Structure 1
Amino acid sequence: MSVEVTEHAPTEPIPTVETARKLGLLPEEYDRICEILGRKPNFTELSIFAVMWSEHCSYKNSIIWLKTLPRDSERMLAKAGEENAGLVDIGDGLACSFKIESHNHPSAIEPYQGAATGVGGINRDIFTMGARPIAQLNSLRFGNLELPKTRRLLKGVVKGIGDYGNAFGIPTVGGEVYFDDSYNVNPLVNAFSAGIVEVGKVAKATSYGVGNPVFIVGSATGKDGIHGATFASEDISDKSTEKLPAVQVGDPFMEKLLLEATLEVIATGYVIGIQDMGAAGIICSTSEMSAKGEHGMDIDLDRVPTRQPNMEPFEILLSESQERMLIVVEKGNEAAVKAIFDKWDLNCEQIGTVTDTGRLHFHRYGKRVADVPADDLVLGGGAPQYKREYREPAYYKEFQKFQVSEVSDVSGEEVSKVARHLLTHPNICSRKWVYEQYDSMVGTANRSTNAPSDAAVVQVKNTDKSIVITVDCNSRYVNADPEQGCAIAVAEAARNIVCSGGEPLAITNCLNFGNPYVPEVYWQFVGAIKGMKKSCEKFRTPVTGGNVSFYNQSSDEGPVFPTPTIGMLGLMESSDNRMTLNFRQVGDVIYLVGQSKDDLASSEYLYSYRGIKGSPAPAFDLDEEYALQAAVKQLITDKHIASAHDVSDGGLFIALAESAMAGNLGFSVTTDKSFRTDAFLFGESQSRVAVSVSADKQAGFEAALQQSGVAFSRLGEVTESNFVIDGQTLLTVSEAKDLYDNALGNLLEK
């Protein structure tokens, strides 16, 4: 092969600074590329740098702050960002691999495929670790449901997730759906997956060993998803629909074959390294694996199986066609590897070899079309890192001026009116319309389908262990106060796991924000990182990795609410600790664990019922939260309580209503007259859990809490069928369930 690098192919434009700008690079970044290469790049090389230095791949505007997050614990088996996904020791020689990632921009313009390929991509990250996926979650954000566009996007996204996940055969065991006008243009689609692997059988995303063969396996490469990473690193605009080719197309049946073949080939012990071809495709996998292993690669693009004829070098390199892997194998085992993929009827082509040059040499039609240093392309190597200007937005101080005394309290019939409003609000009502489209029972490991709890509980087969997983973020809180709001997101995730009987272990995050070059947006990002850091340190839940998604904004609508979605992993060592949220029997006593406050800030009641959009984040104290969770853990361990449900969106009333409806029972409670009625029932101050206790365990329950020092109060008791507050019957359980279960479907069928 020729070693001469062609300046540009006949069909390629001659690159200039303006070309670089159109590809998403800054002028100074173009100059830096020329300096690295010692010459001007050709178009293929410039395209390589454009995708690898995009925000989506390089985290150039976020990595400095991400490095401040806690990343270590005695259970961590892979450092954040070093492998395809996080890896946490769960004991007995087993580990859980888990991760969350976004597919926001593709879902905004093609919701079905955008969401489907998000599911496919996150599952590949798990099984390239050698782990078999066992559960999925998702966190979805949409605009105003009154808009036909929002209803179209929601239906497309949910169908895409359902069709892909159901066909792939991994249960979707929970998640969240949230609506706000800030997401009218930019929906957020965040997908989470978790899998189990034996500790000694983990695969690495690396490359080394001169002469070792490099294989591409799985689907053929097409023109879908080209420049998908750069598309994800720019604002949504009216012209975004022109970038439909940047959206990938998924095939869940191919992915199922790829899963089985990948786990089989990893089990042979012949694999040096393996990486999913997600964002930026071949160029991302070759560069990141080479940089990590401090080696290089010679790659012949003519040998890449393609779906279209005459694909240009940059198209092959940047394509994000789905269901593909790059594998480096010990030399001499080529035939054995090919035999495995032949058995599963999948492409398996050797496209190159490992070198000791530290450079990536790409050839096409006998010519070297690109020669780039691997390390200079990647995060942690030569990719640029910026600390952007940030500035407190004007709204922040305005929100702090809110006084609860400005709002009139509720009484009498209005309590019933608010209750019905909240039960039918799309941010609170049942997600039945969504989850009925997902298969939650495939694999027969889901312990939550018929016994609801605050987090999903999924059995680890052949053990008594379960992983306990959740995704959480109230973006209204984060918008009101990024630091406090993100600290609450971590705390609520931990609270959900604790209330389900688990022990929080670690988090992954999906950080969805607007344009990082806008100082007020970057201020939100920095604040969220600070809040995440202090909460993760308090709960000893290090960050295993995740995803940053900037540019979720448009010129017309502005940025989305800052949405740092927290995916948390917990562990339940024994099924004896399983705790559900449903009331169990008539006569059980209902208690509130934690301290109520005269606080309405950022509550759904204040925002949507009262129409007050500007207020601080709700009351939250990290030490108080930690003490509460420690107390609830002990109550569950000592078998003092029959149910536990955290107080969150919609306040205490919604927590009681959900526990009652899940058990097909009612409740009769009395409000504490030392607080405002609306704050007591509908406020969302943190660090509170509603529990039920059988009459014979009351004394032990109260003694345990008195010893812990955590505040508690008796609210009332579980009844047969009515929701009664201060002697006033608001609803029957059947009326409440009808409103709650059907509200979302009714809104969508308008």
Structure 2
Amino acid sequence: MTLDTVKNATETPDVELPWAALGLKEDEYLKIREILGRRPTGAELAMYSVMWSEHCSYKSSKVHLRQFGEKAPQSDAMLVGIGENAGVVDVGQGYAVTFKIESHNHPSYVEPYQGAATGVGGIVRDIISMGARPVAVMDPLRFGAPDHPDTKRVLPGVVAGIGGYGNCLGLPNIGGEVVFDACYQGNPLVNALAVGVMKHEDIHLAKASGAGNKVVLYGARTGGDGIGGASILASETFEGGTPTKRPAVQVGDPFQEKLLIECTLEAFRAQLVVGIQDLGAAGLSCATSELASNGSGGMRCDLDDVPLRDATLTPEEILMSESQERMCAVVEPEKIDAFLAICEKWDVTATVIGEVTDGDRLEIFWHGEKIVDVDPRTVAHDGPVYERPYHRPSWQDALQADAPTAERLARPATGDELRAAVLQLVGSVNQADKSWITSQYDRFVLGNTVLAMPEDSGMIRVDESTNLGVAIATDGNGRYTKLDPYTGSQLALAEAYRNVAATGAKPLAVSDCLNFGSPEDPEVMWQFAEATRGLADGCLTLGTPVTGGNVSLYNQTGAEAIHPTPVVAVLGVIDDVTRRTPMAFAEEGQLVYLLGTTEDELGGSAWAQVAHDHLGGLPPKLDLDREKLLAEILIAASRDGMIDAAHDLSDGGLIQAAVESALKGGQGLRLIVPDGLDPFVFLFSESAGRAIVSVPRSEELRFTEMCGVRGLPATRIGVVDGDVVELQGQFTLPLAELREANTGVIEALLA
């Protein structure tokens, strides 16, 4: 693009600009002209194009996301909510924890290693920008069909990217998910979560206040990688398995990010920073416009002062570049030397590129000419808001009517058939051991990891003297959500909530990553609207406010959208991590209890998928009050030493959970079917609101009385014993045979 100054733009209204090539619609371009009262300069067009992209502006989702504020439950723990780089909650003892989950889906399909690695880097910078030291990461992942050749390209690269970046940062990866389904072919989901810890007084926000304060760009030099990357690529669908646009995916340098973390935290401790913003999607366009918009004045910047890796970059490219490991700080003039000295100490490049003004404009200069003169709010916050049309899909009723009943799908009936079905389930790629993946992540670096994969939730010690800790779980089931988006999103919330409680932590707050197809498809938009409504209603009932998150749209290949996949992260607090509850059956002779009620609920189940490649019917019913009660029982039992192990029941039902707990502890299990319950339903149903626990015999009376008084069904279903998993009167499966079926599945897939 040729260089256009503001003056030239005013005097040459008919000059054609490539607004369509930058992802803008014609009406959006006309709106920009209306806002400015003239045509935009090339630099202004670049800024609006990335900041008004779906990824940055949430233009198709804003009208629905408002429910998270309108229906937000009252919470004494909430310190910083939606609208900042990450949410912050009070966890007691003067500590605050910040956490957030985001997507890097499209870049990870184009270039799996760097796409996934920079997803980790970006979410970690969101955490440090709040003033917190990052303490852990997590990675919920979705890949295509396990037997598809492209899965062998994407999966190893994504896992290596997550592990490579996180390991180099020295951050433990404490959990996540790995799911395979053909609907994600050509459009994997790579969601990344980070969590950080700080004291209440250390919280920092993204705002540029104080006329005369300096704007400092520090970190890596700006290059041509990732120009328009996440912001524009995330607003595009993929056609025929290849991206319609292939901008350079960002290239990460975790060692530079480690220096950036330490430099930033030292500047915070020295109280040198007024406001701060990381440079992620939309790069400098985002950092300058958001800082100015959130502050009390305007901002003036000079792009000539931006340190470059490539001297040939145009001003438009500098503004759009999404080069990694960069941050923008607002610093008082009298503290600028001290700030730059800290950057020099950590070998971090830092340059003053501008200052806060007492006006209300964002002005940017290049070679002495003004190339941007805008109201920053119109760039950062006042973009388009679409109330996109939506309607229930024409196929939804037929899908729900196709329930996996005994009449439609053959069910195992004999002991031998049940035995074979169990082996088939635990050996399926989604239920199999994931240690090939998790072994590539350092789960215990820093020394404060209390629980990590494959536990129900990851857990980190926050204070080494008091053993205060936090637990985090991420969950989502696209199959359930396709069957019923409203209930499916609530089931994702309930499972993450249950997973946190199963380890003994009290759920406090939520972050979410909403992965859907094209918002321009009314049927996809209906799925999004229903899922968002369900999640907002569920959070209100459970008392867990949404602190922030991410929306990822256009996840589809051609006309084929992914299953609607809301991924929900729940964070909880535990007063003493030494009293946490693991999932493993570890002591022979302990009694196994099933908490909750089991019904014939197999719509969207793992059994239906594995045995019949079937998706239909309704997902399990949900009683959120029962979920709250179950959580209270699990937390109290953990705190008071009534249980030694707990595991939630979800994908694969009771038998999957039982096998996982048995294999983890190396202890067998003898089960008996409760009276009146079909053995198949007992084993494979995915009814919600359930968990299994192992109870020392000395605690049985106290535990069952607590459940009885509180009204939670608790059924004794077995005993920890021997080296087999046995269903009385039906089958016996040696742990060695189960382990052989359950392990090595992903390695074989990639061979």
Length-normalised TM-score, structure 2: 0.96
Which residue in the other structure is 1:747 paired with? 749
Identity %: 42
| Residues 258-309 of structure 1, C-alpha deviations (whole Å, 9 max, x = no match) | 0000001112212110100000000101001111113211111011000111
Measured after TM superposition, the shift of residue 25 of structure 1 is 1.5
- Against the structure 1 CA distance between its residues 586 and 3, is the aligned structure 2 distance closer, same or farther, given a 3 Å change threshold? closer
- Against the structure 1 CA distance between its residues 460 and 39, is the aligned structure 2 distance closer, same or farther, given a 3 Å change threshold? same
Which residue in the other structure is 1:468 paired with? 471
Which residue in the other structure is 1:402 paired with? 402
Partners in 2 of 1:652 and 1:13 — Cα distance?
A: 68
What is the aligned counterpart of 2:501 among 498, 505, 519? 498
Q: What are the equivalent positions in structure 2 for 1:306-705 lying under 5 Å apart?
A: 306-379=308-381, 382-403=382-403, 404-406=405-407, 407-410=409-412, 411-449=414-452, 453-462=455-464, 463-555=466-558, 558-672=560-674, 674-705=676-707
Partners in 1 of 2:134 and 2:186 — Cα distance?
A: 32
Partners in 2 of 1:226 and 1:292 — Cα distance?
A: 25
Q: What are the equivalent positions in structure 2 for 1:286-305 lying under 5 Å apart?
A: 286-305=288-307
Which residue in the other structure is 1:189 paired with? 190
- Against the structure 1 CA distance between its residues 32 and 3, is the aligned structure 2 distance closer, same or farther, given a 3 Å change threshold? closer
Which range is displaced more, 237-246 or 424-433?
237-246
One-letter amino acid of the structure 1 residue matched with residue 21 of structure 2: K
| Residues 233-275 of structure 1, C-alpha deviations (whole Å, 9 max, x = no match) | 1112359557443310000000000000000111221211010
- Against the structure 1 CA distance between its residues 452 and 62, is the aligned structure 2 distance closer, same or farther, given a 3 Å change threshold? closer
- Tell whether the 8 Å contact from 2:23 to 2:232 is kept in structure 1 after alignment: yes
One-letter amino acid of the structure 2 residue matched with residue 275 of structure 1: Q
Measured after TM superposition, the shift of residue 564 of structure 1 is 0.8
| Residues 409-466 of structure 1, C-alpha deviations (whole Å, 9 max, x = no match) | 32221111111111111111111000000011110010125x9631111111333111
- Tell whether the 8 Å contact from 1:452 to 1:582 is kept in structure 2 after alignment: no
Partners in 2 of 1:422 and 1:49 — Cα distance?
A: 50
One-letter amino acid of the structure 2 residue matched with residue 295 of structure 1: G
- Tell whether the 8 Å contact from 1:222 to 1:319 is kept in structure 2 after alignment: yes
Q: Indicate the SS of the match to 1:606.
A: helix
- Tell whether the 8 Å contact from 1:15 to 1:42 is kept in structure 2 after alignment: no
Q: What are the equivalent positions in structure 2 for 1:142-181 lying under 5 Å apart?
A: 142-181=143-182
- Tell whether the 8 Å contact from 1:116 to 1:160 is kept in structure 2 after alignment: yes
Partners in 1 of 2:4 and 2:157 — Cα distance?
A: 48
Q: When the two structures are aligned, how many residues end up with a matched partner?
A: 740
Measured after TM superposition, the shift of residue 8 of structure 1 is 7.0
Partners in 1 of 2:429 and 2:546 — Cα distance?
A: 31
Measured after TM superposition, the shift of residue 394 of structure 1 is 2.2
Which residue in the other structure is 2:729 paired with? 727
Partners in 1 of 2:150 and 2:376 — Cα distance?
A: 42
Q: Indicate the SS of the match to 2:107.
A: helix
One-letter amino acid of the structure 1 residue matched with residue 220 of structure 2: S
Unpaired runs of 5+ in structure 2? none
- Tell whether the 8 Å contact from 1:14 to 1:42 is kept in structure 2 after alignment: no
Q: Indicate the SS of the match to 2:352.
A: strand
Unpaired runs of 5+ in structure 1? none
Measured after TM superposition, the shift of residue 621 of structure 1 is 2.0
Which range is displaced more, 518-527 or 638-647?
638-647
One-letter amino acid of the structure 2 residue matched with residue 152 of structure 1: R
Measured after TM superposition, the shift of residue 405 of structure 1 is 3.7
- Tell whether the 8 Å contact from 2:514 to 2:566 is kept in structure 1 after alignment: yes
- Tell whether the 8 Å contact from 2:218 to 2:328 is kept in structure 1 after alignment: yes
One-letter amino acid of the structure 1 residue matched with residue 173 of structure 2: T
Which range is displaced more, 667-676 or 547-556?
667-676
- Tell whether the 8 Å contact from 2:210 to 2:296 is kept in structure 1 after alignment: no
Partners in 2 of 1:733 and 1:55 — Cα distance?
A: 49
Partners in 2 of 1:736 and 1:349 — Cα distance?
A: 59
| Residues 699-738 of structure 1, C-alpha deviations (whole Å, 9 max, x = no match) | 2222111111111211111111011112344321122122
- Tell whether the 8 Å contact from 2:594 to 2:693 is kept in structure 1 after alignment: yes
Measured after TM superposition, the shift of residue 57 of structure 1 is 0.7
Which residue in the other structure is 1:55 paired with? 54
One-letter amino acid of the structure 2 residue matched with residue 387 of structure 1: E
Partners in 1 of 2:486 and 2:16 — Cα distance?
A: 42
Which residue in the other structure is 1:66 paired with? 65
| Residues 58-111 of structure 1, C-alpha deviations (whole Å, 9 max, x = no match) | 111111111111445211111212x21111111111100111110001001100
One-letter amino acid of the structure 2 residue matched with residue 516 of structure 1: P
- Tell whether the 8 Å contact from 1:6 to 1:367 is kept in structure 2 after alignment: no
Partners in 2 of 1:626 and 1:616 — Cα distance?
A: 23
Partners in 2 of 1:92 and 1:237 — Cα distance?
A: 52
Measured after TM superposition, the shift of residue 22 of structure 1 is 2.4
| Residues 648-701 of structure 1, C-alpha deviations (whole Å, 9 max, x = no match) | 111000111111111101111112352332221111111111111122222222
Which range is displaced more, 349-358 or 179-188?
349-358
Which range is displaced more, 479-488 or 690-699?
690-699
One-letter amino acid of the structure 2 residue matched with residue 676 of structure 1: D
Partners in 1 of 2:322 and 2:241 — Cα distance?
A: 21
One-letter amino acid of the structure 2 residue matched with residue 737 of structure 1: R
Q: Indicate the SS of the match to 1:77.
A: strand
One-letter amino acid of the structure 2 residue matched with residue 68 of structure 1: Q
Which range is displaced more, 634-643 or 210-219?
634-643
Which range is displaced more, 547-556 or 408-417?
408-417
Measured after TM superposition, the shift of residue 632 of structure 1 is 2.3
One-letter amino acid of the structure 2 residue matched with residue 63 of structure 1: K
Partners in 1 of 2:462 and 2:629 — Cα distance?
A: 29
Q: Indicate the SS of the match to 1:173.
A: strand
- Tell whether the 8 Å contact from 1:409 to 1:677 is kept in structure 2 after alignment: no
- Against the structure 1 CA distance between its residues 240 and 283, is the aligned structure 2 distance closer, same or farther, given a 3 Å change threshold? farther
Partners in 1 of 2:194 and 2:594 — Cα distance?
A: 33
RMSD: 1.9
Which range is displaced more, 100-109 or 66-75?
66-75
Q: Indicate the SS of the match to 2:90.
A: strand
Partners in 2 of 1:55 and 1:102 — Cα distance?
A: 13
Partners in 2 of 1:649 and 1:678 — Cα distance?
A: 15
- Tell whether the 8 Å contact from 2:517 to 2:555 is kept in structure 1 after alignment: yes
Q: Indicate the SS of the match to 2:433.
A: coil
Which residue in the other structure is 1:39 paired with? 38
Length-normalised TM-score, structure 1: 0.96
- Against the structure 1 CA distance between its residues 272 and 638, is the aligned structure 2 distance closer, same or farther, given a 3 Å change threshold? same
Q: Indicate the SS of the match to 1:250.
A: coil
| Residues 457-503 of structure 1, C-alpha deviations (whole Å, 9 max, x = no match) | 11113331111011111111111111001001111111001100000
What is the aligned counterpart of 1:272 among 266, 271, 274? 274
